[in-house]
Amino acid sequence: MAPPRQVSKPTVPSSSKAGGAQLRRIARPPPAPKLNTALSAHPRTDPLNALSVLLKLLTSLPARIGGCQYKLTQAEHALALHLVGVLDPYVYHGMRALAHPMGGDTSAAFVGLVHQPTEILDAILFHVDARRDLLNVGLACKRLHDVVFPRHFDYRVIRAKVSSIAVWNHLILHRSLARNVRRVEIIDERTSSTTAIVAPRGMLQRDTDLESTDDELTMHAKQERFLATALVRMTGLQEFKWSCNHSPISIANVWPTLMMRAVNLKSINICDNLVFSPRTEEDEDDEDDGGETSESDSDADGGVGGGKQMLAKVPATALLDMESVTFRSTPHVYGSSKNPELGRIAAMLHQCVNLKALEIIYITPRTAAAATALPGGISARTRPLSDEFLTYGRWAHLTSLTLSNLRCGSYAIVAAFLKAHPALEVLNVDLSVHGAGTANGGGLVLEPGSMPRLREVRASKEVINAIFACPLSSNADDVSESALRPLEAIKGFKLSGHAANTATSSARSIPDTTFLANLRMHAGTIKRVEMTGWHDMEDVKRLAACVPRVQYLDVGRRLGGNGGHGVNRNTSDKDISLKEKAPVANIIEWTEFLATLPELVTLHGVKFFYEVASAPSSSLPAPHSNTISSSPSSNPILATHTHATTNPILQSIAHLSMMERSRLRKNDETAGVLAWKCPKLRRVDHWDTAESGSGRVIVLLREHAGDDGGREGKVRWEVRRVR
């Protein structure tokens, strides 16, 4: 039986155009909703919203037409990275929660800092101030590296000019990054921008719209406004340095912003001539009538609204964390005043109640007018008068004080100021007192018990003698060690060369015998002595007899007479330079003097070594390994130059002349004599003068022979650089 025939149904013909349009209508997906690409619209604290927006963004890619398919725009790419960063910590924590540890319990370090969300890591790293510590944290792993370096390491130190508007505008726009700044240095406008400026990458790109101004006369006001506004954003600022002297913008205009906003500020270093300028009547009126600026007003004008009111009234506890303040002028004429004062400085220090270190250093400008003296004996540019500052300035925690190149009305003000600061440990005073050189001028007399913790003092011989003569207790006859100050270092004095006052000496001059007698009472504590000058070798010997246990001695320069290297006026500059580099003529007398100081480690002011060629002393240590001839202990240890050394040294010695070789042998002998006379001596002067700025010294190195007696077998001298 045949199978039934299948009857096919006729198909209805359709046009190709209509079918294609129908297929396209069926295959085309619905249009994707428009996404908001603003990063601020997607907070980091909402991971569910971030996941939803990321899915919508990815699913919309296939529906795009032509070449735009599977391609993101620049804004969408930035949004995608932002959303992935939001989801990353949450997805990683979920994966860790579902995963089973391979071997035992997970270590505490593994589940610690690294696995915290980005916001938590950023908040933790905010409390790490030192860049070295941040570097160690950032190199631990990539996770910490991505947070440390772009947000913290590059922002800890900012060094820029006032005119670097791009830097200040970047910090104004990014508050979260500005709060990570710890140190700000404002450099001079004449400094090179390529090497001196330190700022995060990308901040130095110039913006024409920011830097352009319709009126060039208002350019400095615009720069000041941007700087002050950026300082308002730096809530974590701890150190501030101002070295912008060649600019009409003064630190006095920026100070109110620091005083009102930078509450965590610990150190300020100001190098500016304008800070020593006299106060004007407008400043005094602002001090009487000025009110406290509100926060809204300061934010609106960048904190500069009270910039002209340097002495605006603020809370007395504005800068509680301030510990170190330095005010220093420059030798340039720009900004200097003919009558400098300390009124502005006193107003700035009024808010620093917990101050520990204070430096006020005035440098006379380098001008012909400053060097000429008036008939009355007062120079054209007088020193700043410090009477008001010393009368009203009081800081209970002050431990270090430096007052240089100032003047005062009487010694009584100075004595009262020092009495009011019992915590002082370091004192550096250079004050000229009116009428001190006359017979009625008197001298400094300290009240009993002044500065009981003083350890170091740099002052004239008269001031140091007044400190020696001041008793700590009411019983002036008590000379025990418990009744003496713990003085360890005295600096900045010179010996007159007279045992007692003569007719030529001033009325306030202290005889050397009186000074040395008071110095002898503190011989048990003093370890460091730095003089500025002496007249005769006997002066140095008498000083050493008073402090035989001294470890550091700097005799300074020889004053008057022929000096150590007497130079005739007709001598050329070249001959003067050669004589300054030559060793002292009386080396034997100096070595005998060193034998009386068994504890001496460092000696400066006396040159013992001849100048040798720079080839062996610059690339390698100039005093190479030296062999010591075995000799009785009563004879000096002779250091002879050895030739059993490396090839570079042999090659350098081969090119030396006979005179240079003779100098090397003489230096070896000198090193041996010094090591024999002074067993602990280690550092002496280099043949270059200190004014040359070479920063080099000669170090004596001793090596034991290796026998049971412990005798020294080798002495080497090397040229080293010091900081």
Using one digit for the tens of pLDDT, what is the confidence trace for 593-614?
Answer: 999 999 999 999 999 998 887 5
The pLDDT of residue 579 is above 60: no
The pLDDT of residue 253 is above 60: yes
Host H or E run for residue 460: none
Number of alpha carbons in the 13 Å side-chain half-sphere of residue 604: 17
Name the residue with higher pLDDT: 610 or 454.
Answer: 454
Query: Length of the chain in residues, anyone?
Result: 723
Whether 605 contacts 552, CB under 8 Å = no
Residue with tokens 């030739």: 643
The residues near 124 (Cβ < 8 Å, ≥ 6 apart) are 113, 116
Among 206, 183, 186, smallest CA distance to 196 is for 186
**pLDDT value, residue 577:** 54
Chain segment 299-348, per-residue pLDDT in tens: 444 444 444 444 344 555 568 889 999 999 988 888 788 889 998 899 88
Number of alpha carbons in the 13 Å side-chain half-sphere of residue 58: 10
191 phi and psi angles, rounded to 5 deg = -75, 145
Exposed e or buried b for every residue in 9-40, given b needs 16+ CB within 10 A?
eeeeeeeeeeeeeeeeeeeeeeeeeebebeee
Longest dimension (CA), the chain: 160
Among 350, 345, 312, smallest CA distance to 326 is for 345
Query: The tokens of 384 are what?
Result: 């700043």
Whether 474 contacts 448, CB under 8 Å = yes
Under the banding of pLDDT at 50, 70 and 90, the label for residue 92 is: low
The pLDDT of 234-248, averaged and rounded, is 87
The pLDDT of 42-49, averaged and rounded, is 87
Question: In this structure, which amino acid lies at residue 548?
Answer: P
Whether 76 contacts 35, CB under 8 Å = yes
Reduced to 3 states, what is the DSSP secondary structure of residue 432?
Answer: strand
309 phi and psi angles, rounded to 5 deg = -95, 80
Residue with tokens 């060690």: 481
The pLDDT of residue 260 is above 50: yes
SS (H, E, C) 152-203: CHHHCEEEECCCCHHHHHHHHHCHHHHCCCCEEEECCCCCCCCCCCECCCCC
Using CA atoms, how far apart are residues 463 and 484, in angstroms rounded to an integer? 16
Chain segment 625-666, per-residue pLDDT in tens: 343 333 333 344 444 444 334 455 555 556 677 888 888 889
Residue spans per domain, the chain: 37-59+83-88, 116-148, 598-721
Whether 509 contacts 486, CB under 8 Å = no
β-strand partners of 560:
none
**pTM (2 d.p.):** 0.74
**pLDDT value, residue 470:** 92
**pLDDT value, residue 721:** 87
Question: Is beta strand 712-721 parallel, antiparallel or unpaired with respect to 696-704?
Answer: antiparallel
Using CA atoms, how far apart are residues 78 and 83, in angstroms rounded to an integer? 9
Query: The tokens of 451 are what?
Result: 């500065």
Torsion of CA 134, 135, 136, 140, to 10 degrees: 100
Chain segment 165-191, per-residue pLDDT in tens: 999 999 999 999 999 999 999 998 888
SS (H, E, C) 36-102: CCCHHHCCCCCHHHHHHHHHHHHHCCCCCCHHHCCCCCHHHHHHHHHHHHHHHHHHHHHHHHHCCCC
Among 365, 368, 358, 405, smallest CA distance to 383 is for 405
Under the banding of pLDDT at 50, 70 and 90, the label for residue 389 is: very high
Percent of all residues in the chain with a pLDDT value above 90, rounded to a whole number:
37
Whether 484 contacts 472, CB under 8 Å = yes
The pLDDT of 451-462, averaged and rounded, is 95
The pLDDT of 676-684, averaged and rounded, is 92
Among 633, 648, 651, 637, smallest CA distance to 717 is for 637
The pLDDT of residue 66 is above 70: yes
Under the banding of pLDDT at 50, 70 and 90, the label for residue 24 is: low
The residues near 61 (Cβ < 8 Å, ≥ 6 apart) are 69, 70, 71, 72
Chain segment 98-138, per-residue pLDDT in tens: 555 555 554 554 456 777 888 889 999 999 999 999 999 99
C-alpha distances in Å from residue 677, one per residue of 518, 598, 682, 700, 701: 28, 9, 12, 13, 15
